[in-house]
Amino acid sequence: MSDLTVVFDLDGTLVDTAPDLVDTLNVVFAREGLAPVPYDTARILIGGGARRMIERGLTLEGRACTVAEMDRLFADFISYYAEHIADRSRPFPGLEGALDQLAARGCRFAVCTNKLEGLSRRLLEALGMSGRFAAICGQDTFAVQKPHPEILRRTIAQAGGDIARAVMVGDSGTDIDTARAARVPVVAVDFGYTETPVAQLRPDRVISHFDSLPAAVFELAPHPR
């Protein structure tokens, strides 16, 4: 049996949240009289959190805004999104089976995301998945966010794990940079939300389907000390 902690990013890794996030962005923009951002364009804006998504969307629209305006837009985004968080968001194919296989071999799971913790919990609860995770940590859990390695270190500790027996799973350069800074091996999924193909970012492993995750995790799993 393993005492390994597998830490997952959320948006674009565990769950395909893009449909609801992009819908929310465009509802907020419509209220501002702005044109909608095309889905394929907006999808790759997701990885940095909602505020960053709004900022980048406004840049695409050629609009600047004040800090107060951004705060208002962010509040509007969070309010709408919280009520529509799982309208169309679903786990990526093969996830449940991969988690079952890893759990059967003694792995514990955690979530380390730049999404707000409350929204992360709300989403996973709506999908019936929150009970699988020993810790669900967001950008506001420790007042630090990815790519700072401390959020990953603290997430592992909160899950009851050992950073020397952990593997990170993510979909972006931010996740890879976080894992590298924390000296944790990293698996990248190539179906998430990133402008740069993850293979170019040189994670330790790249997978294209969750069926491949258990093998990748145990290939990278550090040996017990």
| Residues with active-site annotation | 9
Q: What whole-number distance in Å separates Cα of residue 59 and Cα of residue 204?
A: 33
> Cβ–Cβ contacts within 10 Å for residue 106, how many?
10
What DSSP designation does 201 have? G
DSSP track, 63-107 = ----HHHHHHHHHHHHHHHHHSTTSS-EEPTTHHHHHHHHHHTT-
Q: How many residues does the chain have?
A: 225
Instruction: Name the strand (E) or helix (H) holding 112.
Output: strand 108-112
Query: Residue 225 corresponds to which tokens in the numbers above?
Result: 């000390």
Which of these, 143, 166, 140, lies nearest to 153 by C-alpha position? 166
